[in-house]
């Protein structure tokens, strides 16, 4: 009797992978159990069934732990547009709660408050949260999470506010040695400048601008990763910042009266 050829079965499970992650596809493709074609071909077929944007899937626990936040923009909450920058250290717990503290420079006036709040995040990589300061005032934010939760692009959603910025994971504790090496920095706002510093990990640094030595300065690092830096520019600049990304970056704002400036330091 002639042998009847069996039809080649591709990936019979593809109907189940809609909404799955790329890693999920790979985990289920284990020839010969699920696919009679070479593994690489089966994987490509599987991926073709994934919906657009499926590569940006987040775990519900991606946003957890301590973060540094830097926002800058223009707000009209006082009636006319005014520049504003803010720096915060926020801790996101496992129960959807937030606690921390925030420093806001509004049109050159620096204010600081402890804050509490609540948040929601999902597998679509969207984050929404609200913060309440000790005066009882609320602020609301939304953001897009980088899968894994190391960084979130956020914006304030309250009427007449236009602040946008970054939320980046910080360490649970820091010391002077976490701020060491060469960092490029840029300041923007009422003061704009850029350059580089070489930090020694012991509270001192040397600054260069346009490849020319521009003096030396000092810095302090608190156990909660808050950093205070004074740049030896012609008009000295005092900054309050926070070490993020394992010490590879610092998010900061200027604390001098009358100055509304945001700053960012990036290790090179």
How high is the pLDDT of residue 174?
A: 98
Which two tokens mark 56? Answer: 């940006």
pTM: 0.79
Of residues 170 and 24, more confidence is placed in 170
In this structure, the chain runs to a length of 268
Query: What pLDDT band is residue 106 in, cutting at 50, 70 and 90?
Result: confident
Query: What pLDDT band is residue 36 in, cutting at 50, 70 and 90?
Result: low
Q: Do domains 65-169 and 176-267 have the same CATH topology?
A: yes
- Chain-centroid distance of CA 266 in Å reads 13
Is the domain spanning 65-169 CATH 1.10.3470? The answer is no
Task: Give residues with Cβ within 8 angstroms of 16, minimum separation 6.
Answer: none
Instruction: Name the percent of the chain lying above pLDDT 70.
Output: 79
Residue 21, pLDDT above cutoff 70:
no
Say which CATH class 176-267 falls into. mainly beta
Domain ranges of the chain: 14-48, 65-169, 176-267
């Amino acid at each position: 009797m002639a042998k009847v050829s069996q039809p080649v079965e591709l990936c019979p499970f593809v109907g189940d992978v809609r909404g799955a992650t790329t890693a999920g596809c790979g985990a289920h493709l284990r020839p010969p159990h699920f696919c009679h074609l070479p593994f690489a071909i089966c994987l490509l077929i599987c991926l073709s069934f994934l919906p657009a944007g499926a590569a940006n899937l987040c775990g519900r626990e991606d946003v957890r732990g301590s973060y540094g936040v830097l926002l800058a923009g223009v707000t009209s909450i006082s009636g006319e547009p005014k520049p504003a920058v803010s720096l915060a250290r926020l801790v996101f717990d496992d129960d959807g709660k937030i606690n921390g503290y925030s420093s806001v420079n509004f049109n050159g006036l620096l204010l600081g408050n402890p804050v509490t709040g609540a948040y929601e995040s999902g597998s679509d990589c969207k984050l929404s949260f609200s913060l309440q300061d000790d005066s009882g005032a609320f602020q609301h934010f939304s953001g897009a999470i980088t899968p894994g939760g190391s960084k979130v692009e956020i914006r304030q959603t309250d009427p007449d506010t236009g602040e946008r910025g970054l939320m980046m994971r910080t360490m649970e504790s820091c010391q002077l040695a976490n701020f060491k090496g060469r960092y490029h920095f840029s300041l923007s706002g009422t003061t704009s400048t850029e350059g580089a510093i070489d930090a020694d990990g012991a509270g001192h640094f040397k600054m260069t601008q346009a490849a020319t030595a521009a003096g030396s300065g000092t810095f302090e690092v608190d156990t909660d990763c808050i950093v205070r830096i004074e740049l030896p520019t012609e008009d000295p600049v005092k900054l309050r910042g926070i070490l993020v990304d394992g010490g590879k970056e610092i998010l900061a704002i200027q604390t001098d009266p009358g100055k509304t400036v945001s700053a960012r330091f990036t290790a090179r």
